[in-house]
Amino acid sequence: MKGINIGIIGFGNVGSGVVKILREKRGFLAEKIGLEINVKKICDKDTASHRNVSVDKKLLTKNHLEIIEDPQIDIVVELMGGIHPAKEFILGALKRGKNIVTANKALLAQEGQEIFALASDRGKSIYFEASVGAGIPIIKSLREGLVANKFNSIFGILNGTSNFILSEMSRDNCDFSDALKEAQKRGFAESDPSLDIDGIDSAHKLALLTYLCFGKFVTMKEIFVEGISRISLSDVEYARELGFEIKLLAIAKKEGEDLEVRVHPTLVPKSHLLSSVNGVINAIYVSSDLAGELLFYGPGAGQMSAASAVVSDIVDLTQDIKAGLFRPNLKIVADNSVKRIRKIDDFESRYYIRFMAVDKPGVLAKISGVLSKYRVSIASVTQKERRKAQVVPIVMIVHDAKEKDLRTALSTIDRLDVIKEKSVAIRIEEL
């Protein structure tokens, strides 16, 4: 049986998972695709440490050029992560006529335009299924399965660490720092969790989904990003009483001729499926003109889940190579009804707001006076029980308000002498 040679750069968690699958399922895959997939070379900075799959020492190298310059290697699989030198390795491989498989969302979100342009110029393909939702086949579904669709919106729970923390807070009534510690103890969060809890990882993935759905390559600066570290247990509890769960949502949605692209904690109605996505699970809720509303759900990280997606990309490429044809990635076509990326000041949303105010008459009147001055209208208000320090939480839901108006109102209110802590505002999505 004819074989296809691949080279893997990055023999870490996902890289060793890919080698394991290709070894353990060699016959199964060969029967399906009519080809053997041979791992010809594996590059890693460390070629000595033991991995969960043992390989012939001759396959290992520290020199990436042994992969990208090898004329017998058809596919370069980049699984080292990071921006540099991953970018240079991929560009180098494309220039030498290789097709690429990568799981590197950070790289594609930040440098994708240049990489995709070179691939198209050289008539080569880039596959990146594992970069969003790991084993959930969302990229292929958006690009191929839903090819005839136009999209209205995507709402994603794209970061398992943040979702685990928020779910723990809701389920166990624990505060943010305890939930984070639990995530770290169980291996779901890095010792420096900032990429996850500050929303950066979700923003990288959202940039790729936005590109696939709306044909726009948004920069990181164009995505409004707010993390979950200011969410308190009280907010989780009050939100629940009001019929919501708090989720870190990555959102791309059309509003008239604008596209809103944002990542932030969001109150999701308990009646919506996304509110029940708990733990390290990811979910992507897509609204399209033909197929309607679709939900993709599953583990969004993990060695075998990510490696499963990488192997699927490799298999896709082997089919083209086998057929001896160049089948470029389907062209991403810009949605011309979208004229601009909406600026944060112009976002409009309902909000949950929590003030911490002294417990005395007239406080509510002062707060509502400022809100009304900035065109923020109150839908409901609840004054919670008095705390020891005579400070009471006042929880409000406000009707659709412009972000700029709301921010100005809150910074004015926070300066009132009756307010004792910075207020918390969380957007509400009706979905």
Ligand X SMILES: NC(=O)c1ccc[n+]([C@@H]2O[C@H](COP(=O)([O-])OP(=O)(O)OC[C@H]3O[C@@H](n4cnc5c(N)ncnc54)[C@H](OP(=O)(O)O)[C@@H]3O)[C@@H](O)[C@H]2O)c1
Q: Catalytic site residues?
A: 205
Q: Which helix (H) or strand (E) holds 87?
A: helix 86-95
Binding ligand X (rule: CB under 6 A), the pick from 67, 91, 94, 130 is: 130
Q: Does 431 bind ligand X (CB under 6 A)?
A: no
Neighbours of 114 (CB within 10 A): 12
Q: Give me the least distance between CB of 202 and ligand X, in Å please.
A: 13
Query: Hey, what are 394's tokens?
Result: 């006042």
What SS3 class is residue 257?
Answer: coil
The β-bridge partners of 250 are 156, 263
Question: What string of DSSP letters covers 12-34?
Answer: SHHHHHHHHHHHHTHHHHHHHHS
Q: Does 91 bind ligand X (CB under 6 A)?
A: no
The β-bridge partners of 284 are 156, 296
Residue 87 or 216: the one with the smaller Cβ distance to ligand X is: 87
Cis preceding linkage at 85, omega within 30: yes
d(CA 85, CA 97): 19
- CA 219 from chain centre, in angstroms, equals 14
Angle at the Cα of 157 (from 179 to 345), degrees rounded to 5? 100
Q: Which stretch binds ligand X (CB under 6 A): 22-30, 80-88, 151-159, 332-340?
A: 80-88
Q: Does 44 bind ligand X (CB under 6 A)?
A: yes
Q: Does 208 bind ligand X (CB under 6 A)?
A: no
Q: Does 14 bind ligand X (CB under 6 A)?
A: yes
Q: Does 43 bind ligand X (CB under 6 A)?
A: yes
The β-bridge partners of 251 are 155, 262
Site string for ligand X, 284-323 (x = CB under 6 A): -----------------xx---x-----------------
Q: Does 12 bind ligand X (CB under 6 A)?
A: yes
Q: Give me the least distance between CB of 160 and ligand X, in Å please.
A: 8
Binding ligand X (rule: CB under 6 A), the pick from 80, 142, 208, 248 is: 80
Q: Does 135 bind ligand X (CB under 6 A)?
A: no
Residue 90 or 392: the one with the smaller Cβ distance to ligand X is: 90
Q: Does 85 bind ligand X (CB under 6 A)?
A: yes
Q: Does 403 bind ligand X (CB under 6 A)?
A: no
Whether the Cβ atoms of residue 76 and residue 96 lie closer than 8 Å to each other = no
The β-bridge partners of 3 are 36
Q: Give me the least distance between CB of 304 and ligand X, in Å please.
A: 9
Q: Does 207 bind ligand X (CB under 6 A)?
A: no
Nearest alpha-carbon partner for 411 in 379, 376, 386, 383:
376
Q: Give me the least distance between CB of 14 and ligand X, in Å please.
A: 4
Binding ligand X (rule: CB under 6 A), the pick from 79, 108, 180, 213 is: 79
Q: Give me the least distance between CB of 263 and ligand X, in Å please.
A: 17
d(CA 15, CA 304): 10
Whether the Cβ atoms of residue 39 and residue 76 lie closer than 8 Å to each other = no
The site for ligand X (CB under 6 A) is made up of 9-15, 43-46, 64, 79-81, 85, 103-105, 130-131, 134, 301-302, 306
